[in-house]
Amino acid sequence: MPTYDYQCKECGYTFEEFQSMTSELLVTCPSCGKPTLKRLMAGGAGMIFKGSGFYQTDYKTSKPASKESESKPASKSSEPSKTEKKSDSPPSKKSND
């Protein structure tokens, strides 16, 4: 539901009213009680999300890097060269005996 701005033509009192788009316009001023309210045209600030349910990363298309790749620097010897093909077998483990 949008927030509308109203201003009294008689006393100049300005206020905001949170109401449905299908609601009737307000006509009576809450300050002076006269039926001289006018709804003001808003500039249109766009959508405003309030609350804790919206996150900056909700709609990003790229995936963040994994923690493992961030913490370990890549060494040149472990990367295959452009002419080498990757094998499907897992790398052999070296023992530290």
**Under 8 Å between Cβ of 19 and 37:** no
Which DSSP letter does residue 26 get?
P
Q: What percent of the chain has pLDDT over 90?
A: 28
What is the spatial distance between Cα 14 and Cα 33, in angstroms, rounded to a whole number? 13
The pLDDT of 20-31, averaged and rounded, is: 92
pTM of the complete model: 0.44
Count helices and strands (H / E) in the chain. 1, 3
Q: Per-domain residue ranges for the chain? A: 3-39
Burial of 37 (0-12, 13-18, 19+ CB in 10 A): buried
Q: What is the pLDDT of residue 81?
A: 54
Residue 26 confidence (pLDDT) above 60: yes
The pLDDT of 26-54, averaged and rounded, is: 81
The pLDDT of 46-50, averaged and rounded, is: 67
